[in-house]
Amino acid sequence: MSEARAQILAGIRRSLKRGRLESAREAELRERVAGHPRKLVPARATTLDHSSRTDLFVAMAEEVQATVAQVNSSAAVPDEVVRYLAAENLPAELIIAPDPSLDEMPWSERPLLRIRRGRADANDAVSLTPCDVAIAETGTLMLSSGAATPTTLNFLPDTHIVVVHGNQVVATYEDGWDRLRRGGRVPRAINFITGPSRTGDIEQRIELGAHGPRRLHIILVDDRQKAGDGQSK
């Protein structure tokens, strides 16, 4: 190991007026890290039932200039994409994450939509991706990198569309960490995304679309509507 490393560690121990920690203490600290206890988590989202939590997610996301459309089923996603692109005056061209969760959607019923699957390059204007979870606390989306979910989709295109399923809405960042740890190896990149890209670097005026997407559109596939219908029958 390098001389700098040894000297820095020795310097730290000298300043703290002790030697290397005893192995029992190290084991204790390792155990604490392995157990990764939660600290105080704000009550804002944790005390809500699922429906109110979803409402909070939508309200918080809209507060930071994301747009949210709610649809009843996965089958309705392509229609919503076409509607959104037309409303925003965007070309009907889309780069979609090669993720199996998006395969079941009836893209072929929309033949005018030109679709490519894969990572984004400089010319892609609109991307569509899934997410890991949607965090109600601050209206934040959590996306992680992987073979089916390249990170470039989240940053290169001008417009980013994200599909969120109702059961993906969780309360807090810690819920996101739990979901992540169930997946085994930590992915290379985990992106917490809260609204579209912005800057306040010129006269503290907020301008959207600094380097990342100018628009963030969330399609919430929510079966609350259906469940409600069922109960009323």
CA 149 → CA 130, 154, 162, 169, 208, distances in Å? 8, 9, 12, 19, 24
In the complex, the smallest distance separating the C-beta of residue 44 from another protein, rounded to whole angstroms, is 7
In the complex, the smallest distance separating the C-beta of residue 144 from another protein, rounded to whole angstroms, is 9
Q: In terms of CB distance, is 42 or 106 closer to another protein? A: 42
In the complex, the smallest distance separating the C-beta of residue 121 from another protein, rounded to whole angstroms, is 9
Q: In terms of CB distance, is 17 or 233 closer to another protein? A: 17
Q: Residue 112, interface with another protein (CB under 8 A)? A: no
How many residues line the site for another protein (CB under 8 A)? 77
**Other CB atoms within 10 A of residue 209 CB:** 14
**Per-residue mark of binding to another protein, 68-97 (x: CB under 8 A):** ------------------------------
Q: Residue 138, interface with another protein (CB under 8 A)? A: yes
Distant-in-sequence, close-in-space partners of 220: CB < 8 Å, separation ≥ 6? 54, 58, 68, 69, 70, 71, 134, 164, 166
Q: Residue 59, interface with another protein (CB under 8 A)? A: no
Candidates 20, 83, 114, 226: give the one binding another protein (CB under 8 A). Answer: 20
In the complex, the smallest distance separating the C-beta of residue 116 from another protein, rounded to whole angstroms, is 13
Per the CB < 8 A criterion, the answer to whether 139 and 62 are in contact is yes
CA–CA separation, 160 vs 117, rounded Å? 14
Candidates 29, 59, 86, 227: give the one binding another protein (CB under 8 A). Answer: 29
Q: Residue 212, interface with another protein (CB under 8 A)? A: yes
Q: Residue 211, interface with another protein (CB under 8 A)? A: yes
Q: Residue 24, interface with another protein (CB under 8 A)? A: no
CA–CA separation, 197 vs 65, rounded Å? 10
Subset of 141-200 contacting another protein (CB under 8 A): 145-147, 150-152, 154-156, 172-174, 177, 185-200
CA–CA separation, 26 vs 31, rounded Å? 9
Region of 85-93, 99-107, 137-145, 220-228 interacting with another protein (CB under 8 A): 137-145
Strand order in the sheet with 169-170: 140-144, 133-135, 169-170
Torsion-angle region of 118 (φ positive above 0: left; ψ -120 to 50: alpha; else: beta): left
In the complex, the smallest distance separating the C-beta of residue 181 from another protein, rounded to whole angstroms, is 9
CA–CA separation, 33 vs 49, rounded Å? 30
